[in-house]
Amino acid sequence: MRSQFRAMAGRIKAAASAINSAIRQTHAARLAIMAANLRRALPLIAMLLLATVLFCLFLAWSSARSVFTVLSPASPTGIMAGIAAVVVGVAVLELCAAFAIIIMTAALQLAYDTGRHCVLALLAIASALGLALMASHLAVAGMPAFAGAILPTLGLCGLVALTLWFKRAYLRPAYPGFRDFWVDIVEARHVLMRAAHGE
């Protein structure tokens, strides 16, 4: 009896390990791993990565809910609609996370090739364009549009915060938190490579 219990526990442990390994290989898990690995060295970047994960989850949940709503009338029990919604949600989550990793890889390569001044200029331009678009949208639609665009607003606030932090951390040696731009880029690329292998 005890040997059977041990064998069952071993099988359960092996199955849990296999599931954990499979989850860690997903792109969404890699983003979360990167955020966890960078939380101390680059906390603001880690928060942006976490925000990216949450945004991917939101898109996946929205897609799954839409699919379930469309298929529910044709599925009396709701089981098939639920299965289809889960499949679509997982697919959207993986596609969004994979696209985010590709964008980050390209952004790190661009930052390494161009240097901190060019990166700051690009961040400043993106922030200015985002603020201009937000102001234009509010002028046309009014304040209710601001409440209905929470995610874009949070994303814009994050971009502005990143721009201000970048300028202080990499271009002002007198700043107490001044950092070495090239060292951080190399470290971020290493973290990205490790996360790509599920480490």
Is 66 part of a structural domain of the chain?
A: yes
Confidence of residue 80 (pLDDT cuts 50, 70, 90): confident
Helices (H), 115-142: 116-141
Is 164 part of a structural domain of the chain?
A: yes
Q: Which residue has the tokens 């925000």?
A: 51
Give the domain range for residue 91. Answer: 26-32+43-196
Is 20 part of a structural domain of the chain?
A: no
Is 167 part of a structural domain of the chain?
A: yes
Is 64 part of a structural domain of the chain?
A: yes
**Average pLDDT in the 102-122 region?**
85
Answer yes or no: are the C-beta atoms of 130 and 156 closer than 8 Å: yes
Give the C-alpha separation, 19 to 25, whole Å. Answer: 10
Is 37 part of a structural domain of the chain?
A: no
| Axis-axis angle for helices 27-37, 79-114 (nearest 10) | 50
C-alpha distance from residue 107 to each of 119, 168, 187 (Å):
9, 20, 14
Answer yes or no: are the C-beta atoms of 56 and 31 closer than 8 Å: yes
Is the pLDDT at 5 greater than 70? The verdict is no
Give the C-alpha separation, 16 to 18, whole Å. Answer: 5
Confidence of residue 146 (pLDDT cuts 50, 70, 90): low
Of 103 and 198, the structure prediction assigns the larger pLDDT to 103
**Average pLDDT in the 80-104 region?**
86
Is 4 part of a structural domain of the chain?
A: no
C-alpha distance from residue 90 to each of 47, 160, 162, 188 (Å):
23, 31, 30, 27
Is the pLDDT at 106 greater than 80? The verdict is yes
Nearest in space to 26 (alpha carbons), one of 195, 194, 192, 189:
195
pLDDT score, position 78: 72
The string of pLDDT tens digits covering residues 27-73 is 788 888 887 877 777 776 777 778 788 888 888 888 888 888 888 87
Q: Is the dihedral of CA 175, 176, 182, 184 positive or negative?
A: negative
Confidence of residue 153 (pLDDT cuts 50, 70, 90): confident
